[in-house]
Structure 1
Amino acid sequence: MSGTVIDALTYWARTVPDQPAIDFAGDVVTYRELDTWADGVAEDLTARGVRVGDRVSFLGVNSLEWCAAALGAMKVGAISAPFNQRMLAGELTTLVEDCEPTVVYCDSALRSRLDEVHATRGTFTIAEFEHDVRPLRTGTHAAFRAPLTEQSDPTAIVFTSGTTGKPKGVVFTHATIAGEMHEWALMEPIEQNGLRPLLVLPLFTAAGIIWGISRTTLHGGTLLLQPGFDPESALRVMIEGRATTLTGPPILFEQISRVPGFTDADLSHLTTAHVGGARVPSALVGQWLARGVQLRQIYGQTEIGGSATAMPRHEAADHPDKCGFGGIFTRIRVVAADGTDCTRGEVGEILLRGPGMMPGYWRNEDATRSALIDGWLHTGDLGKLDENGYLTFVDRLKDMIISGGLNISPAEIEQVINRLPGVEEVAVISVPDAKFGETPAAIVKKVEGLTEADIVAHCNDNLADYKVPRYVVFVDGALPRMASGKISKRDLRDTYSDVPQTYPKVR
């Protein structure tokens, strides 16, 4: 598989110049306009010293400017390395130290955070979406001569939280993006220029920059981009924009189904509805099936390109807990602790390989060696295969919390709380949440004089808001431990499974 996202952008700008490329809450930019806009960004980046292989980062909410900046960076041959706009200065510093961007684009409202990072790590230039990208939309720009690149060259880094608490940068190459999208195009046929994904998730995720911007551009489709997730707006745009694809965690589909008018909505144009990140409740499947939409469980990780497998349409209703058997080119194994393949129905670690598999983590050889072994991605997730080879996801070995579709590392929160004077033991676990699906709960060995409010305030000062625990539980005595000496989170989850019912929310 050859070619790049920029090759596709140039092609569609010539062949369907007036085709809407992105519809951002009613503000539409065509392929001709988007290509020219990206040319202007590429010129600006070149003037700022950006060259092939340099990193360009983005810090901001979903916007047309964000998209144009990312495509401009790709035109230069730079590596797009987006940041989560909810991160605070300390968290951003870690990412800046890791990927060493030459330029960071940001929303004006977030400039102060970057200024704080720049004060100690002043190796990058700050540019603003409003002042440096938006004016280029209406300018006249010569076609930028994109440099020739190898298919194995990195083009994007997507940071994902790890169990160690430090984010890891998943590398996407031109080949992994093209290969992943080619495989899914074979499995999920798309009419030429007919792909119309509704994207309500953040652009800094793989769902955004890879499955939103890159996939839509490769197919010459129209990205129905929203500033964020609002259930009423999502349903309205889904209907009026005749969206063909919607992907997200179950909570997204649940909240849309509660919007007045959902039960009468014509959703016949929504041909693909993939649900990942958590199991799909049977009742939710029934609600969407009544509208003619089959919710299909998917499984994957950013490290495999995002999605590795989806339940076939004709079987999804009967098996809402299963995730399919892989793709045309994607393979699945489930192995025991000794590396041997599990028998059918036996729980083990899920291993994957396929065209979207990362070549490794950015500047993290140890993590790469642990994840990629003998050509297989070791996911750290538990699952089982049935007699027909269908995968059922069982649990996360990594204890990751997925709250509202965003990954939260318990270890990162634990590290922050452990810095409070007097704290000796703390464990963060996932508990159910009606709004976000899951939310963090901090189990802390009692410290004299330390209150729940103290912990929340300390976390607010050091973590993005979505990572701050919604429950804090103080316990007398030591936390349970395994024979290895590690805190037993399984015992804690069993003991505190009723936290939302027995403890008040602290925020």
Structure 2
Amino acid sequence: MATSIASALHWWARRKPDQHAVVVADDAATYRELQDWSGRIARTLVDRGVEPGDRVGLMGVNSVEWVAAAWGVIKAGAVLVPLNSRLVAGELQKVLGDSGAEVVLAAEPYEETLRQVGELGHRHTRIGFEEIRGLRAGEREDFRIDRGPSDTVAILFTSGSTGLSKGVICTNRTLLDIVFENTLTDPGMRPGARTLLLLPLAFTPGLVYGLVMTGVLGGTLVAEREMNPSRAVQLIEKHRITVMFGVPLIFQALASAPEFAGADLSSLDCAIVGGAAVPVPLLEAYSAKDVVLRQIYGMTEVGGVATATWPEEAGDHPDKCGSGSIFTDIKVVRPDGTECEPGENGEILMRGPGVTPGYWNDPDNTARALRDGWLHGGDLGQRDEQGRLTFVDRLKDLIITGGINVSPFELEAVIAAIPGVKEVSVIAAKDERFGETPAAIVWGEGLDEATIIAECNRKMADYKVPRYVVVRDEPLPRLPSGKIAKPTVRTEYADIHSTHEKVR
């Protein structure tokens, strides 16, 4: 019995070989073409010495080549490590080093960045997308190495509350269970689903719901390289999209496009939104088009979605995130582990078939997150009398900007190394476009905002760089333990979005 998600690609290549599996811009590949292409990539990797279980990085913007390469890595029996194409060399070195990836499939624009990674000490072999494209044509190739249900298929790196990124393990079993559960609860996620992806394939929604979900269901993945709201609205009509997901920023951009008012969105059966609070006017704008935006709560550790608002309740309970799923349970607990009463704040816990078995080579963080069968996500929430979940705040310090996690610890480490900086605390500032954005509160001597921003730009991806910088002339408040009193800092600068100008 086949136990690999790659067996689905083999099946659909026989059942409907001429249907488009993926469409990106003006390029597309059918299931037969994608099956053969990824098979050639897999065989090439094996011929190059890649063995089952080896980690292989993949770096590039959304493209048909990216999709073929991802399936090729999986069919080679290797472990896919999607790489955020916006990371700089130092950040990539950390991810590649933690995963142990010694082979990286990368598009041409990232050759220099990967060369710098090598200079920093992580030796690896780069296989360029020019070679991937060269494998597109050829004889039929059904090569694949199946691995067991508990074997790791992919490692998704996500920022953690205690510092730098952690590698979330995805197995054949967890990915297939996520597909199974979603087909029972989401009307748009059925065999033949047509998915519109306006996020990077390298992120959790792109890999789990775009690549895997759509591929296993024999659907068509329509992915864009960049956000163009008018074009996105047109794509929904053109391809009769049934599934779409993203942060409120994406849905708001589409609703603001001139084409939105007259667009036929009747094919859109599943519209999932999360990562930030969903404004009621946005819900109303889509409701007027007979599209229900379903608020979700989740994280990479559960495959993206742990619970979603029931369609019939979305309008009446816009601040709720549902009450779990068929096989996924959620509960809210006090620090002593006892369950909270309705309306009482506590930590959100989850358990279900899509929960990761742990973090890659990180037993300490795994033990902290997974306890007694429950995933402790580090978020604060409450449930009502009917069990519906409301997300309240993060117990951890993560900043979620435009749906992407940013670790304040990582940003603080970069700023603290700048000459003249004595203390720094990074907090979340409200932002109309991104939901929230980093703000750096700094105490030191001989400092200015431009110097701080320049150093952050040099060492970090642009979305991590603070948009607010405050240089104080006095120390930051501290707790009796000597630690910086971050809650006090948050309170003092709660209105920084209205009292200070953005520095970029």
The alignment status of 1:485 with 2:469, answered yes or no, reads: no
Give 1:192 deviation, angstroms.
5.5
Structure 1 residues 161-240: aligned runs within 5 Å: 161-190=159-188, 193-240=191-238
| Residue aligning to 1:54 | 54
Q: Name the SS of the counterpart of 1:156 in structure 2.
A: strand
| Residue aligning to 1:457 | 454
| Residue aligning to 2:131 | 132
CA distance in 2, matches of 1:490, 1:102: 42
The alignment status of 1:259 with 2:244, answered yes or no, reads: no
The alignment status of 1:500 with 2:497, answered yes or no, reads: yes
CA distance in 1, matches of 2:449, 2:188: 52
Checking the alignment, whether the CA contact within 8 Å between 2:275 and 2:402 is kept in structure 1 is: no
Checking the alignment, whether the CA contact within 8 Å between 1:201 and 1:208 is kept in structure 2 is: yes
Give 1:493 deviation, angstroms.
2.2
Query: In terms of mean alpha carbon deviation, does 251-260 or 430-439 score higher?
Result: 430-439
CA distance in 1, matches of 2:376, 2:395: 11
Which amino acid is the alignment partner of residue 457 of structure 1?
Answer: A
CA distance in 2, matches of 1:435, 1:424: 32
Give 1:190 deviation, angstroms.
4.8
Residues 484 and 477 of structure 1: CA distance in aligned 2, closer, same or farther (over 3 Å): same
| Residue aligning to 1:87 | 87
| Residue aligning to 2:303 | 305
| Residue aligning to 1:65 | 65
Residues 77 and 201 of structure 1: CA distance in aligned 2, closer, same or farther (over 3 Å): same
Structure 1 residues 341-352: aligned runs within 5 Å: 341-352=339-350
Query: In terms of mean alpha carbon deviation, does 183-192 or 79-88 score higher?
Result: 183-192
Give 1:191 deviation, angstroms.
7.5
For residues 353-409 of structure 1, what are the alpha-carbon distances to aligned partners after superposition, in whole Å with 9 as ceiling and x for unaligned? 001000000011100000000110000000011111111000011121111221111
CA distance in 2, matches of 1:385, 1:193: 33
Structure 1 residues 248-287: aligned runs within 5 Å: 248-287=246-285
| Residue aligning to 1:384 | 382
Percent identical residues: 50
| Residue aligning to 1:328 | 326
Provide TM-score, normalisation by structure 1.
0.97
Q: Name the SS of the counterpart of 2:261 in structure 1.
A: helix
Give 1:103 deviation, angstroms.
1.2
For residues 320-354 of structure 1, what are the alpha-carbon distances to aligned partners after superposition, in whole Å with 9 as ceiling and x for unaligned? 10000101000011110111111111100000000
Checking the alignment, whether the CA contact within 8 Å between 1:277 and 1:405 is kept in structure 2 is: yes
Which amino acid is the alignment partner of residue 199 of structure 2?
Answer: L
| Residue aligning to 2:105 | 105
Give 1:225 deviation, angstroms.
0.8
Checking the alignment, whether the CA contact within 8 Å between 1:54 and 1:78 is kept in structure 2 is: yes
Checking the alignment, whether the CA contact within 8 Å between 2:58 and 2:83 is kept in structure 1 is: yes
Q: Name the SS of the counterpart of 1:425 in structure 2.
A: strand
Checking the alignment, whether the CA contact within 8 Å between 1:154 and 1:172 is kept in structure 2 is: yes
CA distance in 1, matches of 2:343, 2:265: 36
Which amino acid is the alignment partner of residue 497 of structure 1?
Answer: A
| Residue aligning to 1:467 | 464
Checking the alignment, whether the CA contact within 8 Å between 1:22 and 1:224 is kept in structure 2 is: yes
Q: Name the SS of the counterpart of 2:425 in structure 1.
A: strand
Which amino acid is the alignment partner of residue 241 of structure 2?
Answer: A
Q: Name the SS of the counterpart of 2:502 in structure 1.
A: coil
Q: Name the SS of the counterpart of 1:38 in structure 2.
A: helix
Give 1:471 deviation, angstroms.
0.9
CA distance in 2, matches of 1:228, 1:237: 13
Residues 377 and 287 of structure 1: CA distance in aligned 2, closer, same or farther (over 3 Å): same
Moved over 6 A (4+): none
Checking the alignment, whether the CA contact within 8 Å between 2:189 and 2:243 is kept in structure 1 is: no
Checking the alignment, whether the CA contact within 8 Å between 1:3 and 1:178 is kept in structure 2 is: no
Checking the alignment, whether the CA contact within 8 Å between 1:100 and 1:124 is kept in structure 2 is: no
Give 1:232 deviation, angstroms.
1.8
Q: Name the SS of the counterpart of 2:438 in structure 1.
A: strand
Stretches of structure 2 lacking an aligned partner (at least 5 in a row) = none
The alignment status of 1:435 with 2:425, answered yes or no, reads: no
| Residue aligning to 1:96 | 96
Residues 120 and 441 of structure 1: CA distance in aligned 2, closer, same or farther (over 3 Å): closer
CA distance in 1, matches of 2:483, 2:302: 29
CA distance in 2, matches of 1:139, 1:96: 32
The alignment status of 1:121 with 2:121, answered yes or no, reads: yes
CA distance in 2, matches of 1:191, 1:83: 26
CA distance in 2, matches of 1:16, 1:133: 24
CA distance in 2, matches of 1:107, 1:468: 25
Checking the alignment, whether the CA contact within 8 Å between 1:198 and 1:224 is kept in structure 2 is: yes
| Residue aligning to 2:25 | 25
The alignment status of 1:4 with 2:4, answered yes or no, reads: yes
Q: Name the SS of the counterpart of 2:160 in structure 1.
A: coil
Checking the alignment, whether the CA contact within 8 Å between 2:3 and 2:146 is kept in structure 1 is: no
Which amino acid is the alignment partner of residue 456 of structure 1?
Answer: I
Checking the alignment, whether the CA contact within 8 Å between 1:2 and 1:175 is kept in structure 2 is: no
CA distance in 2, matches of 1:26, 1:138: 18
| Residue aligning to 2:142 | 143
Q: Name the SS of the counterpart of 1:325 in structure 2.
A: coil
Checking the alignment, whether the CA contact within 8 Å between 1:160 and 1:169 is kept in structure 2 is: yes
Q: Name the SS of the counterpart of 1:383 in structure 2.
A: strand
Which amino acid is the alignment partner of residue 139 of structure 2?
Answer: T
Give 1:484 deviation, angstroms.
3.8
CA distance in 2, matches of 1:423, 1:52: 47
Q: Name the SS of the counterpart of 1:23 in structure 2.
A: strand
Provide TM-score, normalisation by structure 2.
0.97
Checking the alignment, whether the CA contact within 8 Å between 1:157 and 1:171 is kept in structure 2 is: yes
What is the root-mean-square deviation of aligned Cα atoms in Å? 1.4
| Residue aligning to 1:75 | 75
Give 1:143 deviation, angstroms.
2.2
Structure 1 residues 347-358: aligned runs within 5 Å: 347-358=345-356
CA distance in 1, matches of 2:433, 2:189: 35
